[in-house]
Structure 1
């Protein structure tokens, strides 16, 4: 299986990339992002693009799955700016991959509280909802992953300063947090996404309990 990972420099993408590189069923991984990852692996190739809304330089032919983990906090952003990063970049990847391989699996890391109606008051939730809906319309084999609290594992760290501070403060109570239903980990997200790409799943939108149940 050949896969593409977006956002591998972020916390979730790092975890997903790690699981892809460890999985014997994955023969090739293309990482697409704005900057080099700074790591080498025999399976790994990189496409570094300064403007991710223009992905004409990426050859999508031959890839079986895309794990889209790229995202930003909406704090301090206008709706237009957030839509550009969240919706426009996602579809800039989804459309050419679909043209190259309509049967590919596209898995999108969304978020708890996403507004599937696209009509709610919360800006980020509407934009995420629009993104999810258009991906589900485009791909027969698409899954939306909506994690809640994510435990970073195996060196994964958030690129958002506030989140890093929060994770540091909460680390001593991770054993208690793990018992909550709305908790998953970077490792489990990666394993779940790979399992969905290989075998599919009954649910198109997965919450933490669903993510943790995928094998």
Structure 2
């Protein structure tokens, strides 16, 4: 499997990258990053790229891919709809259109979020934008899976890049076992997310296109 990852430096991307590097079936991982990662794994090749709306300069790298794992995203807090749409919708669709040259065998997984609004008409701005992004991806000429996790427990060194969220996770980390018992349908881990993304590639378009924490955990537990 030849996989490309967007957002490998973030909390979710860290877990996804780790899962890919540990998976025997994954032969090469391309990480599209703004700045180089501190990782010299032999399967990993980093592509430093700063314009997330234009991939014409690296188009040759985007051929013969089996999967694209899009983990790049930002919080909507403190951002207006125009800015949030540019990062959430425009960046995602630019990447999707660029990797679609790999052909119909490509699997594209997008990390969305619990509460995403597929109708695109709800009151929540972030949910509308995420819903619009999901709908556009599902209309693309490849197998697409939308991941909608709720609470994500970071594992194996994964951590949010935003300072306030990083502090919040540190303060509430002890709650994860409690939440897992009380609300198992709303809790997953960065490790399960990564394994589940690999698992959906093997589904080749089968199964539900939108996955919440229970489906993510099931697939993430069963992956090798």
Is residue 24 from structure 1 mapped to residue 7 from structure 2 by the alignment? no
Q: RMSD value over aligned CA atoms?
A: 1.1
Instruction: Judge which range, 136-145 or 63-72, deviates more.
Output: 136-145
- Decide whether the 8 Å contact of 1:106 with 1:139 is kept in 2: no
- Decide whether the 8 Å contact of 1:188 with 1:212 is kept in 2: yes
Q: How far apart in 2 are the matches of 1:139 and 1:35?
A: 30
Q: Post-superposition, which runs of at least 4 consecutive aligned residues in structure 1 deviate over 4 A?
A: none
Is residue 211 from structure 1 mapped to residue 216 from structure 2 by the alignment? yes
Instruction: Judge which range, 185-194 or 98-107, deviates more.
Output: 98-107
1:140 shift after superposition: 4.1
Structure 2, gaps ≥5 residues long? none
Q: How far apart in 1 are the matches of 2:19 and 2:190?
A: 9
Secondary structure (helix, strand or coil) at the match of 2:134 reads: helix
Q: Residue by residue, what CA displacement relative to the aligned partner does 1:110-137 show, whole Å, maximum 9, x if unpaired? A: 0011110111111111110011001000
Give matches, 1:23-42, under 5 Å.
23-42=23-42
Q: How far apart in 2 are the matches of 1:51 and 1:96?
A: 13
Q: 2:187 aligns with which of 183, 195, 199?
A: 183
Instruction: Judge which range, 168-177 or 21-30, deviates more.
Output: 168-177
Q: How far apart in 2 are the matches of 1:82 and 1:88?
A: 9
Q: TM-score, normalised by structure 2?
A: 0.93
> If each structure's helix is expressed as a fraction of its own residues, which one has the higher value?
2
- Decide whether the 8 Å contact of 2:20 with 2:194 is kept in 1: yes
- Decide whether the 8 Å contact of 2:6 with 2:69 is kept in 1: yes
Q: Residue by residue, what CA displacement relative to the aligned partner does 1:140-190 show, whole Å, maximum 9, x if unpaired? A: 411000000000000000012221111111122222122222000000000
Is residue 148 from structure 1 mapped to residue 116 from structure 2 by the alignment? no
Aligned to 1:87: 89
1:57 shift after superposition: 2.1
- Decide whether the 8 Å contact of 2:100 with 2:142 is kept in 1: no
Q: How far apart in 1 are the matches of 2:29 and 2:14?
A: 13
1:47 shift after superposition: 1.1
Aligned to 1:194: 198
Q: How far apart in 2 are the matches of 1:46 and 1:101?
A: 22
Q: TM-score, normalised by structure 1?
A: 0.96
Secondary structure (helix, strand or coil) at the match of 2:56 reads: coil
Secondary structure (helix, strand or coil) at the match of 1:138 reads: coil
Instruction: Judge which range, 170-179 or 146-155, deviates more.
Output: 170-179
Q: How many residues align?
A: 215
